[in-house]
Structure 1
Amino acid sequence: MASPSVDAASDSSSTPVPSSHGIDRDPEKDFPKEPELAPEVDCNIVRWTGSDDRDNPQNWTFTRKAGTTGIWVYACLATAIGSSIFSSGSQAISAEYNASRTVVTLGVSLFMIGYCVGPPIWGPLSEHFGRKWPAVIGMSLFTIFCIPAAVGQNMATILVSRFFQGTFGAAPLALIGGALVDIWNPIQRSVALTCCVGTLFWSPSLAPVIGDFVTENVGWRWTQWISCIMGGICALLLLVALPETYAPLLLRQRAARLRKDGVPDARSQFDGKALTVSDIARIYLIRAFMLLATEPILIAVTIYQAFIYGMLYLFYVAYPIVFEEIRHWNLGISSLPFLGIVVGVLCGCAVVIAHILITAKPPKMDIDGKPIIIPEERLPIMIIGSILVPVGLFIFAWTSNPEIHWIGMAIGGFPIGMGMYMIFVQCFNYIIDVYMTIANSAIAGNTMVRSGFAAAFPLFGPAMFHRLGVEWATSLLAFLSLAMILIPVLFWKYGARIRARSKNRISS
């Protein structure tokens, strides 16, 4: 999954239009603010005119904001299901093309490599063209590349198509973070982002349930036709119903209309400020790798998050081994235990949202009137999640004997899903809080490593489960998860001290 980026230009300070919905209240209006001297105003600069300016996405009604968010969530749902539904047809594809399971699994891995390649393309494009059109183009091309994967007559065609599906399907994942910044205030945005990340976590786990029944009844090619249909609906929805939300583009368009209407000097403060190629290389590549090489917080959190993300995609090849090969369930029924992970993710999402709403309060201010952010406040939820994951893995491992009732493994999936989600979403929030103005670079490096793990784990997973057995292969994952509990615990205790030491290096 591509990660949320923070666009300062889009995060305007105007107050949203009140509504009867409780969550629509903007708590920022209650925050203490230092008095500011009125700057000298350039009348030719086009700005938002205030809280009644309905062209400003921050001033939209709650219903319109929720509808816009819903479209973005569906776009992420379509591409996330596409990422893992291919695994349902692995056995049938292997038999049809006489290919090894490892080669067929490349269909999932190459999709994830596309996820790694896509964000550095789609993120900068949104600086020039806004949120809508890159998303429309990305999902349209995602839909097109589902077709050769569905009708391909050789593995090369299918695998290349899967790579491009991931590259173009990464568009909504790369853009949704900025889109949420465009329309929601910080507390509302935290809730919306939690729901979006939850969708990106439960939908790939639901995809094998859908895909296995489809493969069993109408053939594996229909897993790709389902992705094509969902992508086509999404592209049409983005084209017809999604409004543009990127404030710099909207203000540039407003200035252009004024010039056309006889105000020749009208201009936006964002004119001429789009990213250059050198900016893109610096932000998404050079600085991203520099931070990954020098920042202990980013290194540790990225490894932990990448391990969790890789393990999620490992389960898409491990569950068929456990339930088809060992317990001899048929294809459709063998996917139902994935629902344990799905329910766990949904419960984890509810816990994180409840925590956000319960703990939401005006932040303390420093002497300059700026809010004081304490990143370590994100860690208690992560610590709870880090305990749940190994608990679930040990339950899954030692109830895997076919002589033991299957309900034990299904129950084990619940804390696995819940814990993985709580770790995953709080890793994002912690990185953003720590790195603030260079969060885009930190997240870019994080995304590359995370997608690499998700691509690699399904490749070695089958061999690990066959050679070690389900008990010890899963226990190995559990022991690694136990060791990684130290990451959030140590940062909870020493994070502020580590940040103080690395602060100058970050700012330089």
Structure 2
Amino acid sequence: MPAAGSSSGTEVSSSTNNIKNNPSISSTPGQKSNISTSNTTENETEDIRTSDNYDDISVATSHLPNQYDVEKGLSTDQGSHSLSLLKTESRVAPNANMSKVLTNTDAISHRIQEQNEAGVPIPPMGADRDYPAMLPPNEDYLVAFDGENDPIHPHNWPVKTKVTICALLGYDTLCIAFGSSIFSACVPAVSEIFGVATVVATLGISLYVFGFATGPLVWAPLSELYGRKPVILISSFMFTVFNFGVATSDRLESVLICRFFAGCLGAAPMVCVPAAMSDMYGNKTRGTVIVLFSMAVIVGPMIAPFVGAFIVVNKNLGWRWCSFMVGIISSPQLILIPFFFKETHHPIILVEKAEEIKRRTGNWGIHAPHDEFKLTFKEVVENNLNRPLKMLVTEPILLVVSIYNAFVYGMMYLFLTAYPLVFQYGYKMKPGVAELPFLGLAIGMMIGGLLCIYAERDFNKKLVENNGVLVPENRLPIMILGAIAFPVGILWFCWTGNYPEHVHWAAPCVSGIMTGFGVMVIFIPSMNYIIDSYLLFAASAIAGMTFLRSGFGGAFPLFAQFMFVNMHVNWAGLLLGVFGLVLVLFPLMFIKFGKRLRQKSHYAFDLSGK
């Protein structure tokens, strides 16, 4: 368990604060991570090839075999001390070819003699030249940020620059989320045109959301290697292309395949946007910007159905124009991102700085720590597939929070079926008008988001009172409000919507405000709680949560119609509402026992030292 003992608790908290205030801290080649964990095994340490960037803590734990250390003349204890969190500007295993620390001609002569005696003579330099002396220590050539006020560090960028980038990222995320549910309005038309059952046409929604589960597992490591900008740009391009593919396909198979790849290849914002926001903002403001990201993810699917419905019923447009519209509104990103989006990933910024210094000074040896690292396909698979799934099934905190989060997310997509059943078939509203009640959900979500932003003030106050030491459980009290509002909203909707001949349509419509409020006030604190609990493992934890959440989101629409038709809306709602009420116990449980569970975890952190 990466928890501080009583003797090092103060050091941990101070180290964490130093990370926030000193973005220039970096590790050197061959240097092991300065994180000492009492319960983390050696094999788990070897798995940590890619660090996770959240809350200004970007730590890479690089395990080098002892034989390698001996061969390169490196001490296995080099630079180590008791538990601390050091910020690095790189994320993967050091390249052995750049780790020599020898400095004189005697050293190279000794190395040549060793190689000759071993029967593996070194090839001659050629042109009658002797072997040159070794370079000075590698650390002399490493670039770093110039103190905590370095203007090139994203934390110190002008507010205008940060707002512009956040607006671009928020718009990109909104387009992706919007595209997930707009197809719900196309399901009846697709079912009729291609002559398939409704549940088959619903695969257009499910496969898109399943893409959300798989795509981030690939995009996340690529963004760590090559930066946020190229990954988001390529993802936006692929998203646009495959949406136009959906719009022009003449076979159902092509429609479904293009929908899957639109979700999978377009899903980079789901992981890159919160990472980019974390690159630019610190502890006190990260929670607020994550709220804005979450609102784009959650509100987007709720405003798309009625827009799509009006497009489908328009005789001059039709169902294909839903995908045309998504492709059109996402196209401006292909122009805006190259010109207005600055790279936010700290290691890549240092690479660009090193390239400029190298070019202007002519000193080819100057480089960034990130230049020394490489990532193999095997490491991509191990770190970004194995670890998130392993954490998901072995970490009680992550598993329970992910199940809760996934149920809420799945219910959002369940409503894509439930709302048309109630308002179109129950209250006899026309298509388009029957989808307008989704605005109630969207309004409730925005109210919940604003409350979460306000709650950040209380969290920051407790953070200051605790000398800057994070206590993840301080995120949870507000979550209790959402946990109660969510099932109440479900019961309200289902039991009023089941009797259209006796209950005015406004009653189930207004219930969406409470349901949407509950969704947002559960979603945001749970995400922040996981980030604060797992720190350097946060990206892996979020990847596991996203995988399960998207699986629920894709599966729920497939059985929604059978459930509401066969059980009737009221009894189906009772089942879901009671299950939601049981889940209220989870935030209460973590408020009381969360610290104890983190102390027993192999991945979660307890920085209090108590």
- TM-score, normalised via structure 1 length: 0.89
Instruction: Give yes or no for contact 2:54–2:538 (8 Å, CA) kept in 1.
Output: no
Distance 1:177 1:474, change over 3 A: same
Give 1:506 deviation, angstroms: 8.2
- Residue 231 of structure 1 pairs with residue 330 of structure 2: yes
| CA deviation profile, 1:100-130 (whole Å, cap 9, x unmatched) | 1101100000001111111011111112211
CA contact (8 A) 1:85 1:207 kept: yes
- How many Å separate the matches in 2 of 1:70 and 1:505? 32
Of 363, 378, 385, the residue aligned with 1:285 is 385
Correspondences of 1:8-23 after superposition (within 5 Å): 8=58
CA-based RMSD of the aligned residues comes to 2.3
Choose from 450, 453, 456 the match for 2:549.
450
* Distance apart, 1:283 and its partner CA: 2.4
Match of 1:378 in 2: 475
Instruction: Kindly report which structure 2 residues correspond to 1:245-256, keeping only aligned pairs within 5 A, or say none.
Output: 245-256=344-355
* Alignment match, 2:225: 128
Following superposition, the deviation at residue 260 of structure 1 comes to 2.1
Give the distance between the partners of 1:156 and 1:428, measured in 2 at CA.
35
The correspondence for 2:209, drawn from 88, 92, 112, is 112
1:147 Cα deviation from its structure 2 partner: 1.4
Structure showing greater Rg = 2
Q: Which moved more, 1:271-280 or 1:196-205?
A: 271-280
Checking the alignment, whether the CA contact within 8 Å between 2:310 and 2:432 is kept in structure 1 is yes
Q: After TM superposition, give the deviation of residue 86 of structure 1 in Å.
A: 0.6
Q: Is the aligned partner of 1:480 residue 2:576? A: no
What is the TM-score with the length of structure 2 in the denominator?
A: 0.74
Whole-Å separation in 1 of the counterparts to 2:477 and 2:501: 37
Distance in 1 separating the partners of 2:465 and 2:536: 18
- Cross-structure match for 1:143: 240
Q: Which residue of 1 aligns with 2:567?
A: 468
Deviations 1:14-42 (A, max 9, x none): xxxxxxxxxxxxxxxxxxxx9x9xxxx95
Q: Distance in 2 between matches of 1:180 and 1:49?
A: 21
TM alignment of 1:71-90, pairs within 5 A: 71-90=168-187
Give SS of 1:328's match.
coil
Q: Provide, for residues 65-115 of structure 1, a one-character-per-residue CA deviation record: whole Å limited to 9, x for no partner.
A: 111101000000111100110111111111111111101100000001111
Distance 1:463 1:363, change over 3 A: same
Q: Map 1:264-283 onto structure 2 (within 5 A).
A: 264-283=364-383
Letter in 1 for 2:255: I
Closer, same or farther: CA 50–502 of 1 in aligned 2, 3 Å: closer
Matched, 1:361 2:411: no
Question: Match of 1:96, as an amino acid?
Answer: I
Deviations 1:361-408 (A, max 9, x none): 373699xxx842211111111111000011111111121134310111
Return closer, same or farther for 1:233/1:505 CA change in 2, 3 Å cut-off. Answer: closer
Match of 1:216 in 2: 313
Paired residues of 1:4 and 1:176 also in contact (CA < 8 A):
no
The correspondence for 2:414, drawn from 314, 318, 329, is 314
Residue identity opposite 1:317 in structure 2: T
Q: Residues 134 and 360 of structure 1: is their aligned pair in 2 closer, same or farther, counting only changes over 3 Å? A: same
Please name the residue that 1:153 is paired with. 250
State the distance in 2 between where 1:310 and 1:392 align: 15
Q: Structure 2 CA distance, aligned partners of 1:504 and 1:413?
A: 37
Q: Distance in 1 between matches of 2:421 and 2:56?
A: 41
**Cα distance in 2 for residues equivalent to 1:191 and 1:359:** 11
**Structure whose residues are more often helix by fraction:** 1
CA drift at 1:412:
0.8
Tell me: CA distance 1:505–1:175, structure 2 relative to 1, closer, same or farther (3 Å): closer
Which letter maps to 1:411?
V
After superposition, the C-alpha distances for 1:335-381 in whole angstroms (9 at most, x for unaligned) are: 11001100000000000000102442373699xxx842211111111
- SS of 1:267's partner is coil
Amino acid at match of 2:522: I
Paired residues for 1:201-212 under 5 Å: 201-212=298-309
**How many corresponding residue pairs?**
474
Q: Given the superposition, is the C-alpha separation of residues 500 and 314 from structure 1 closer, same or farther in structure 2, using an over 3 Å criterion?
A: same
Q: Which amino acid is the alignment partner of residue 212 of structure 2?
A: Y
Match of 1:500 among 599, 605, 608: 599
Task: Name the CA distance, whole Å, in 2 between partners of 1:482 and 1:277.
Answer: 44
Q: Is the 8 A contact 1:5 1:178 kept in 2?
A: no
Mapped pair 1:189 → 2:300: no
The question of 1:491 aligning with 2:590 is answered yes
2:166 aligned with 1:166: no
Q: How far apart, CA to CA, are the structure 1 residues paired with 2:277 and 2:59?
A: 13
Q: Percent identity?
A: 35
Residues 80, 200 of structure 1: 8 Å contact kept = yes
User: 171-180 vs 233-242, which deviates more?
Assistant: 233-242
Q: Distance in 1 between matches of 2:239 and 2:572?
A: 35
Runs of at least 5 residues in structure 1 that lack an aligned partner in the other structure: 11-33
1:53 aligns with 2:153: no
Contact map agreement 2:229 2:342 (CA 8 A) in 1: yes
Q: Which runs of 5+ in 2 are unaligned?
A: 1-52, 61-83, 87-137
Task: State the partner residue of 2:529.
Answer: 430
